[in-house]
Amino acid sequence: MFRMILSTQWKWSRLAVVLGAVAAFALPVLSVGQFGGTGPSRWEVQAMLGSIQAWGVLYPVLAIVLGVSVAALAWTYDHRGRHVYALSLPVPRWHYVLLRFGAGAVLLAGPVITLWAGTLVAIGAATIPAGLHAYPTTLALRFALATLLAYSLFFAAASGTMRTARYILGAIGLIVAVDVLFAIAGLKLHIFESVFLRLVVWPGPLDILTGRWMLIDV
């Protein structure tokens, strides 16, 4: 049963997964690609860290894009058929949802593994100056968690009906509207910003997506 769910989901999301896997492999390699010489100067070390930091912005972006794509594609065909096929299959609803979720999570393992492979290739090719350390496994684990987080959030949102989506968008719209009204009235209450910060700053659940994503660091 799971194998069949996995095969349908692979068929629907293979383009996103394959492109994501290629990008995940390329990112760490490109971030250190030009720093392969022996005994790098101080200037080269700074340039290397700058490059790794600049490319590092793309890891959470890739994690979000991958998670969102695979989550959305997991439900596209069920939405199209108004879920009649899924509901008429002889499995409890929670079981079907779990199968779909699990299949997506398995597919996301591909890009995570290629990212880890990319980090190993990158640190093998680069000369790491004394005092600096490489964190290939930590970076890959962080990427895995960030991807899983984005996937889980959007999987849950995408599994709902259009009515649920409207409620979520309505709630966001209401917060923004209230913020605008407060601003017009001259009140210094920023609800949207406050909610956003609670989500992205530790212990907020989206904290993992923010901050520095460094393959090589002190």
Least CB distance to another protein at residue 5 (A): 8
Per CB under 8 A, which of residues 109..168 are in contact with another protein?
A: none
| Residues 38-77 interacting with another protein (rule: CB under 8 A) | 77
Shortest separation between residue 102's beta carbon and another protein, angstroms: 15
Q: DSSP states of the chain as a string?
A: -HHHHHHHHHHHHHHHHHHHHHHHHHHHHHHHTT--SSS--HHHHHHHHHHHHHHHTHHHHHHHHHHHHHHHHHHHHHHHTTTHHHHHSSS-HHHHHHHHHHHHHHHHHHHHHHHHHHHHHHHHHSPPPTT-EE-HHHHHHHHHHHHHHHHHHHHHHHHS-HHHHHHHHHHHHHHHHHHHHHHHTT----HHHHHHHHHHSTTSTTGGGSS---SEE-
Question: Does 81 engage in binding with another protein (CB under 8 A)?
Answer: yes
Nearer to another protein, 85 or 167 (CB): 85
Taking the complex as a whole, the smallest distance from the CB of residue 16 to another protein amounts, in Å, to 14
Residues of span 10-39 touching another protein by CB under 8 A? 11-12
Asked whether position 198 contacts another protein by CB under 8 A, the answer is no
Residues that bind another protein (CB under 8 A): 1, 3-4, 7-8, 11-12, 77, 80-82, 84-85, 87-92, 95
